[in-house]
Amino acid sequence: MGLNPARLRPRDVLRVGSAGLRTRPLRVFLSALGIAIGIAAMTAVVGISASSRAEVDRQLAKLGTNLLTVSPGSTLIGGTASLPPESVAMIGRIGPVRQVAAIGKVPDAHAYRTDRIPEAQTGGISVHAAHLDLPATVGARNTAGTWLNAATERYPAAVLGSGAARRLGINAVGGQVYVGGMWFTVVGLLDVVPLAPEVDSAVLIGWPAARTYLNFDGNPTTVYTRTADSAVEAVRAVLAATANPAAPSEVRVSRPSDALAARQATSKAFTGLLLGLGAVALLVGGVGVANTMVISVLERRAEIGLRRALGATRGQIRVQFLAESLLLSALGGVGGVLLGVVATTLYASTQSWAALVPVWASGGGLAATLLIGVVAGLYPAIRAARLAPTEALAAP
């Protein structure tokens, strides 16, 4: 009558598989560390990239993708073209257009913190005349003070873009800046305007004040247009001819949100490169696990022979060492995912982003570690199962 070998329950497999790990903690730690580094790198890359894309999407949703800008291009002979003063009104007559505002650079005026700075030593900060509805059109908001109104746009009052305020060293309203040979009172400071970076670096004054005090010619240099979401491309196609019917080829039309979208596409390409590097680190970790398991088999031949002599089958020996390899890889995988989440959270906090680690990244990382555990432990497990009891017990 034949004897049936005892079956290993899942709890027994876990116990015998972890026995080898508990007896060599330092080697286990170093082997799992290789897996953890690869998984942490891949998780962090995916998490940081996802957080960045989520921030860009949030900005696009907040700022909108229906803003178009019109600016002068180049003439046929290579000179700088100009927009006619009536271009703003003509653009406003386009049906789907909801809001129109413009800024116009005052060519001979620059802003200084004091009147003691010689113009020959610095070009100063540019000065732009601005329409009253500029903030509503470009999505700008004040960090201090207020925007120009129907009264202050006629007097020497100025609002500073975020970059201009930083360069001038002004962080509160009530001070003065020296513009075109006279003092202008600062009535407001603007926050960063992602879709209109030229506003950030400028000192903005009212359109009538620019004409009165600085001999502004009234020609806009940038016209901002908000359109209906469904008609952005249609409006874009007719903006140049509408702004300057006499020379539409000298008008440049752009969509500021395209720059954010391009940044997102660049981020995706960079993410692919970093994921490849993380995969290489993960492969190196898998080789480390395989090496550990092969050495473990060589060192534990006596144990294998004893278990075979006591009735363990070849299949049970294979399961034991395969479970040990899986547990070793799983330790590295779990540690790597945790490290990746921590790295993503820390980096996102420095950028003022909301940390986002996709579930598929964490799950995929753990699945990859288990796959590596199977591949790395398969050969050592088969090798251990092939050892004959007498050969294993005779080994020194």
Predicted confidence band of residue 70 (pLDDT cuts 50, 70, 90)? very high
Instruction: Tell me, yes or no, whether 181 and 246 share the same domain.
Output: yes
Question: Strand 176-179 and strand 182-190: pairing?
Answer: antiparallel
Of the candidates 234, 254, 274, which is a domain's last residue? 254
143-187 confidence digits (pLDDT tens): 999 999 999 999 999 999 999 999 999 999 999 999 988 999 999
User: Do 104 and 241 belong together in one domain?
Assistant: yes
Give the mean model confidence (pLDDT) for residues 187-191.
Answer: 96
Residue 34 lies in a domain: yes
Q: Would you say 323 and 13 are in contact if contact means Cβ atoms under 8 Å apart? A: yes
**What residues pair up with 225 in beta bridges, in sequence order?**
68, 100
Is there a domain that residue 1 lies in? no
Q: Are 203 and 177 in contact (CB under 8 A)?
A: yes
Q: What confidence score (pLDDT) does residue 98 get?
A: 92
Q: What's residue 320's pLDDT?
A: 82
The pLDDT of residue 277 is above 90: no
Average pLDDT over residues 328-352: 88
| pLDDT band (50, 70, 90) for residue 264 | low
Spatial distance between the Cα atoms of 155 and 153, rounded to a whole number of angstroms: 6
48-85: buried (b, 16+ CB within 10 Å) or exposed (e) per residue?
Answer: bbbbbbebbeeebeebbbbbbbbbbbeeeeeeebbbbe
Last residue of some domain: 216, 232, 254?
254
Contact 192, 36 (CB under 8 A): no
In degrees and rounded to multiples of 5, residue 252 shows phi and psi of -110, 125
Q: Which domain holds residue 110?
A: 67-254
Is there a domain that residue 4 lies in? no
Distance from the Cα of residue 18 to its chain's centroid: 41
* Choice among 30-39, 124-133, 197-206, 224-233 with the minimum mean pLDDT: 30-39
Q: Does 2 map to a domain?
A: no
Answer whether residue 16 shows pLDDT above 90.
Answer: no
Least confident of 157-161, 184-188, 298-302, 363-367: 298-302
Please report the pLDDT score of residue 103 as a whole number: 96
Looking at the structure, do residues 234 and 355 belong to the same domain, yes or no? no
Round the average pLDDT of the chain to a whole number and report it.
Answer: 83
41's tokens: 């790198």
Do 71 and 202 fall into the same domain? yes
Q: 3 lies in a domain?
A: no
Total number of domains constituting the chain: 2
| pLDDT of 289 above 80 | no
Which is more confidently placed, 14 or 67? 67
- Asked if 304 and 341 sit in the same domain, the reply is yes
Q: What is the arithmetic mean of pLDDT over 239-267? A: 78
Structure tokens at 217: 């010619």
Domain's final residue, options 203, 226, 254 = 254
My answer on whether 238 and 96 are in the same domain is yes
Given this model, what pLDDT does residue 276 score?
A: 72
Residue in 53, 34, 23 with CA at minimum distance from that of residue 267: 53
Residue 5 located in a structural domain: no
Same domain as 249, residue 164 = yes
Is 25's pLDDT higher than 70? yes
Mean pLDDT of 266-288: 68
Q: Looking at the structure, do residues 217 and 360 belong to the same domain, yes or no?
A: no
Predicted confidence band of residue 211 (pLDDT cuts 50, 70, 90): very high
What does the pLDDT read at residue 357?
A: 86
Average pLDDT over residues 363-376: 84
Tell me, yes or no, if the pTM score tops 0.85. Answer: no
Residue 109 and residue 210 in one domain: yes
Residue 136 lies in a domain: yes
* Residues 94 and 151 grouped into a single domain: yes
Please check whether residues 362 and 317 belong to one and the same domain.
yes
- What integer pLDDT is reported at residue 275 of this predicted model? 67
Q: Could you tell me which residue, 366 or 202, shows the higher pLDDT? A: 202
pLDDT band at 58 (very low <50, low <70, confident <90, very high): confident
> What was the pLDDT predicted at 328?
85
Do 330 and 375 share a structural domain?
A: yes
Band (pLDDT 50/70/90 cuts) for residue 10 is: confident
Residue 157 within any structural domain of the chain? yes
Map tokens 């986002």 to a residue. 356
Percent of the chain with pLDDT over 90: 34
